[in-house]
């Protein structure tokens, strides 16, 4: 794994641009981040990427913590700071200015059209992220089956996802998966 400061800075600038597409959170841009870090640059394995994502989303706070962990893995504290800024500053500024526009045109009919159009885009991006993480984390039929069961339960019941995470952790601790 070769990550010099210039390469990490170049990727952070790309990440800042990519982050503007993070409708629905970091999950929406996860496939592109993974593609760049794992497939294009070879800076980490798909398994490491999935582990860092899992750790970042399990930690309290915003899911942008994932960027902090990826940056730290690549370049220490400097990378953590850089990736955190890249993932949060552009989207925060964009959200601030769009909130002003959104409020100014609160009676406009196009607002609902935009909201309706963004919903399926967000769902599609999040499904792509789920697929990517399943490919990186699941390696045998038991793991794929457990992932499929979790998806079915989430879609068909009102069970809190925390219970599925705990069940998965228990299955992992017992050595079943």
Q: Which two tokens stand for residue 106?
A: 């609160």
The dihedral over CA atoms of 128, 133, 134, 138, expressed in degrees to the nearest 10, equals 160
Instruction: Report the candidate in 101, 99, 37, 42 with the shortest Cα–Cα distance to residue 69.
Output: 37
Burial environment of residue 61 by CB neighbours within 10 A (0 to 12, 13 to 18, 19 or more): exposed
Whether residue 136 lies inside any domain: the answer is: no
Q: Output the furthest CA–CA distance in the chain (Å, rounded).
A: 57
**Residue at 61 is within a domain:** yes
- 54, part of any domain: yes
pLDDT of residue 150: 87
pLDDT at 24: 66
Q: How many structural domains does the chain have?
A: 1
* pLDDT confidence of residue 2: 54
| pLDDT, one tens digit for every residue, the chain (177 residues) | 557 778 889 999 999 999 988 766 788 888 889 999 999 999 999 989 988 988 888 777 777 789 999 999 999 999 999 999 999 999 889 989 989 998 998 888 888 898 888 888 888 877 887 887 788 777 788 888 888 888 899 889 998 888 887 888 888 889 887
Collapsing DSSP to helix, strand or coil, 23 comes out as: coil
Q: Are 68 and 56 in contact (CB under 8 A)?
A: yes
For residue 12, what pLDDT is reported? Answer: 93
Residue 150 domain flag: no
Give residue 168's pLDDT: 82
Domain hosting residue 85, numbered range: 5-106
Neighbours of 70 (CB within 10 A): 27
Give me the pLDDT at residue 102, please: 87
Query: In this structure, what token pair is assigned to residue 11?
Result: 């990727």
> Within a 10 A sphere around the Cβ of 83, how many other Cβ atoms?
28
- Whether 166 is covered by a domain: the verdict is no
In a domain, 159, yes or no: no
Q: Which stretches of the chain are DSSP H helices? A: 5-19, 30-34, 46-58, 65-104, 110-137, 141-156, 161-173
Specify the residue for token string 């989303």: 57
pTM of this prediction? 0.69
User: Quick one: pLDDT at residue 40?
Assistant: 93
Q: What are phi and psi of 64, to 5 degrees?
A: -70, -10
Whether 40 maps to a domain, the answer reads yes
The answer as to whether 93 is a domain residue is yes
């Amino acid at each position: 794994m070769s990550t010099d400061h210039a390469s990490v800075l170049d990727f952070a600038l790309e990440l800042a641009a990519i982050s503007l597409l993070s409708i629905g959170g970091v999950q929406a841009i996860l496939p592109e981040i993974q593609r760049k870090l794992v497939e294009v640059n070879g800076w980490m394995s798909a398994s490491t990427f999935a582990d860092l994502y899992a750790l970042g989303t399990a930690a309290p706070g915003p899911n942008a913590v994932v960027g902090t962990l990826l940056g730290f893995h690549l370049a220490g504290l400097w990378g953590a700071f850089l990736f955190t800024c890249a993932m949060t500053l552009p989207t925060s500024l964009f959200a601030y200015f769009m909130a002003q526009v959104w409020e100014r045109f609160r009676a406009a009919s196009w607002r609902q059209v935009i909201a309706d159009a963004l919903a399926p885009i967000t769902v599609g991006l999040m499904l792509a992220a789920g697929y990517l993480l399943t490919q990186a984390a699941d390696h045998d039929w038991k793991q794929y089956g457990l992932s499929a069961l979790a998806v079915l339960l989430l879609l068909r019941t009102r069970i809190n996802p925390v219970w599925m995470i705990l069940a998965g952790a228990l299955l992992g601790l017992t050595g079943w998966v």
